[in-house]
């Protein structure tokens, strides 16, 4: 992070630093000039506490993760790079989905940019959306321990992921909750339309091959 690259987790104002390093290894958290609160209280917190607050969709936790920590989007799939063609295809399809959702959100925000208080970069939007999809890991136990309530579990997981997406967009844009929810709804609608169109194209291609 460069100068003015940090944000206060309480009021979202820019800050030049998170803490000051004095002699003898003494660290003092920087106080925000705007709200007179610590710029980022989470630098003293255990990662487990930060994770719990992120799961609870707390705005402060999202600001800490998105603005005051270094995110490497290329590592969000894991540190191991697989050369299996099936894995490559799966990763490619997943990134195509993220691209479609991101494009829909960005196009929507271009229309309503007049009511947004921030103009984030594309990389910030990508990082925020990918990071806020962490709830998808809950699909693993839902699939492993399959039971009669699996559709309900999958629906709740999807709702949780969409809620996290909305909170990430709200933090990145410094916008209202209503605007972030509307942006997520536009992305979800775009995803549904693309999925239905892809399914129709697939069935049409199968019908052509069967006819031939």
The string of pLDDT tens digits covering residues 122-144 is 667 777 777 787 787 777 777 77
Q: What are phi and psi of 207, to 5 degrees?
A: -65, -40
3-state secondary structure of 132: coil
Q: How long, in residues, is the chain?
A: 212
Task: Tell if the pTM clears 0.75, that is, is over it.
Answer: no
pLDDT in tens, 148-197: 666 788 788 888 888 888 888 888 878 788 888 887 888 788 777 877 88
* Cα–Cα distance, 198 to 202 (Å, whole number): 6
pLDDT in tens, 78-123: 444 454 544 544 554 555 555 555 555 655 655 555 556 666 666 6
Contacts (Cβ under 8 Å, ≥6 apart) of 52: none
């Amino acid at each position: 992070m460069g100068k003015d690259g940090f944000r206060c987790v309480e009021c979202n104002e820019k800050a030049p630093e998170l803490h000051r390093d004095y002699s003898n290894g003494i660290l003092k958290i920087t106080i925000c000039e705007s709200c007179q609160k610590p710029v980022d209280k989470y630098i003293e917190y255990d990662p487990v506490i930060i994770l719990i607050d992120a799961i609870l969709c707390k705005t402060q936790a999202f600001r800490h993760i998105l603005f005051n920590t270094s995110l490497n989007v290329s590592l969000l799939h894991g540190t191991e790079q697989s050369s299996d063609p099936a894995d490559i295809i799966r990763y490619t399809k997943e990134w195509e989905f993220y691209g479609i959702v991101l494009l829909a959100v960005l196009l929507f925000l271009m229309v309503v940019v007049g009511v947004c208080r921030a103009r984030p970069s594309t990389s910030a939007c990508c990082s925020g959306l990918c990071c806020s999809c962490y709830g998808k890991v809950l699909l693993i136990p839902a699939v492993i321990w399959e039971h009669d309530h699996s559709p309900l579990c999958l629906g709740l997981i999807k709702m949780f992921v969409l809620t996290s997406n909305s909170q990430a967009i709200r933090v990145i844009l410094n916008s209202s909750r209503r605007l972030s929810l509307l942006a997520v709804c536009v992305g979800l609608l775009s995803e549904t339309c693309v999925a239905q169109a892809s399914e129709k194209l697939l069935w049409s291609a199968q019908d052509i091959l069967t006819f031939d």
